[in-house]
Structure 1
Amino acid sequence: MTYVHLDLEAENSSIKTAISPLLVKPVKVLVVDDHALVRAAIKQALTSQPEIQLVVTVSNYAEAEEQVIQQSPEIIWLDLHIVNGNGITEIRRLRQLSPTSRILALDDVEDDKEAFAVIMAGAQGYRSKQDVNPDDLMAMIQMIFRDEFVLRPALLTRLMQRLRKAALPLWGVENGSTNSYHALLDNAKLNGITELTAREREILQLISQGYRDRDIAQGLHISEKTVQKHVQSILSKLGAQNRTEAAYLIHHQSAAL
């Protein structure tokens, strides 16, 4: 297994310049990795930052689940290949335990199929350990708090192409149909777009614009918990697996809203 490359001699000032104003309160980070050197390196890179409160580092998925229940960390660094564990299954499990936690999945080497499975399971990002350094850690946390996906641009392009192909059978559209996208949107409409309440449509519009739950709550003067309930209702009515699929629909079916 390849260890994450972290330059522990990097100047603190170079890391601090990456800190975003979005981090308005201390951020709790859970590091799940079965290599002690990796855990120590990440801890050393983050603990000097006033914006970061490193909750704990653990070496296996069972301990990770315990800490997620107790601490509800904002960010979870998750090694996908811990011995006697399944990273994809664990992402789903952690998302169930703490829906507000954002997961950054780390792989030994970048793999398109693995990346697609990771994102569809609910992770907010996927990176190869070989590509990570201290400056990246802060930049990735910023991106995650903006509800952006942490992916290399080339990989993101390939994943979107794959997602587009996967979306067609998801909505009962056969590949090769000349009207496949129109059929996709028609099916989406039948499957619930017109059933959304006015508030749900408003929130869906904001989701498609990249706003996170906290920002939506502040803008609409409602609680974040209420926003999360609306989001779950939206996904259920649309038959969407996640916010990405819901956003895809609104971008291609704005007339229905």
Structure 2
Amino acid sequence: MPDPAISIMIVDDHHIVRYGLKQSLSSQENFRIVAEAGTGKEAIELMAVHSPDVILMDVSMPDLNGIEATRIILKSHPQTRIIALSMHAEKQYVLSMLKSGAKGYLLKNNLFEELVTAIHTVMEGNVFLSAQITEFIVQTAITPGSDDEAESQAIASLTSREREILQLVAEGKNNAEISKLLYISKKTVDNHKRHIMGKLDLHTIPALTKFAIKHGISSLDV
């Protein structure tokens, strides 16, 4: 009896990337593409309908990044395996994604060579990392003081909503734009921003933006 098909959702804000992934994976006998999403928010909405076995999640997306989308999805669907897709090999992106619960991290520069193996690996309950990422993880583990504990604790103190607003602030959106995107009042946005600044001890928008980029909450390429 053949193995049941593995259901997959592709999440990336670039249509050409989604198309390429879909074409590549559709040629595999036991893979079934059940959904595509162009944003983290859309991915969260589609989970209620499709509940895929595996999500291929772009890390850097506007409005709601893959890190936060992963965290939110796994709260309600802990059985889902999420594989991060990224152009970034820097530690802030890798560690943030893995801490959010991703079971794999693939670099887009050699994505198709590793993708099929990665999907089967995470479905078996294991973790799959690109070779370059594996090397980085080892170096991080053996290098004293390689992770800034104080900043990690500061990030952990932020609520999901605060991380979402921090990303939008770093992307240059003002209170009115954030209010419209999140369906909350401008006063509520302002209150969240004050809480974020207090928790991070950063009191200007440029400082918040720099912090968000450094820790993979936002990116220069979105």
Question: What TM-score do the two structures reach when normalised by structure 2?
Answer: 0.59
The match for 1:139 among 117, 123, 135 is 117
The match for 2:70 among 79, 82, 91 is 91
**1:65-97, CA deviations, whole angstroms, 9 ceiling, x for partnerless residues?**
121122211110111111122322111111112
2:99 maps to 120
| C-alpha contact 2:114 2:130 (8 A) present in aligned 1 | no
How big is the alpha-carbon RMSD for the aligned residues of Structure 1 and Structure 2? 2.5
2:9 maps to 30
Report the alpha carbon displacement of residue 163 of structure 1 after superposing the two structures with TM.
5.1
Instruction: Report matched runs for 1:20-99 at 5 Å.
Output: 24-99=3-78
| C-alpha contact 2:105 2:133 (8 A) present in aligned 1 | no
Report the alpha carbon displacement of residue 49 of structure 1 after superposing the two structures with TM.
2.3
Question: What TM-score do the two structures reach when normalised by structure 1?
Answer: 0.51
The one-letter code matched in structure 1 to 2:60 is H
The one-letter code matched in structure 2 to 1:136 is E
The one-letter code matched in structure 2 to 1:129 is K
| Aligned-partner SS, 1:104 | strand
| C-alpha contact 1:79 1:107 (8 A) present in aligned 2 | yes
Residues 37 and 154 of structure 1: is their aligned pair in 2 closer, same or farther, counting only changes over 3 Å? Answer: closer
**1:154-181, CA deviations, whole angstroms, 9 ceiling, x for partnerless residues?**
5324324535769xxx9xxxxxxxxxxx
Looking at structure 2, the residues matched to 27 and 38 of structure 1 have their Cα atoms a distance apart, in angstroms, of 20
Looking at structure 1, the residues matched to 78 and 120 of structure 2 have their Cα atoms a distance apart, in angstroms, of 19
Larger radius of gyration: 1
Looking at structure 1, the residues matched to 38 and 4 of structure 2 have their Cα atoms a distance apart, in angstroms, of 27
Looking at structure 1, the residues matched to 124 and 100 of structure 2 have their Cα atoms a distance apart, in angstroms, of 19
Instruction: Report matched runs for 1:1-257 at 5 Å.
Output: 24-133=3-112, 135-160=113-138, 162=140
The count of residues paired between Structure 1 and Structure 2 equals: 146
The one-letter code matched in structure 2 to 1:159 is I
- What stretches of structure 1 move > 6 A for 4+ residues in a row? none
| C-alpha contact 2:60 2:66 (8 A) present in aligned 1 | yes
| C-alpha contact 1:69 1:97 (8 A) present in aligned 2 | no
The one-letter code matched in structure 2 to 1:138 is V
Task: Give ranges in structure 2 of 5+ residues lacking alignment.
Answer: 150-222
**1:36-60, CA deviations, whole angstroms, 9 ceiling, x for partnerless residues?**
1111111111123220111011111
Residues 154 and 81 of structure 1: is their aligned pair in 2 closer, same or farther, counting only changes over 3 Å? Answer: closer
Report the alpha carbon displacement of residue 147 of structure 1 after superposing the two structures with TM.
2.1
2:219 maps to none
Residue identity over aligned pairs, in percent, reads 26
Residues 56 and 154 of structure 1: is their aligned pair in 2 closer, same or farther, counting only changes over 3 Å? Answer: closer
Looking at structure 1, the residues matched to 81 and 16 of structure 2 have their Cα atoms a distance apart, in angstroms, of 23
1:242 maps to none
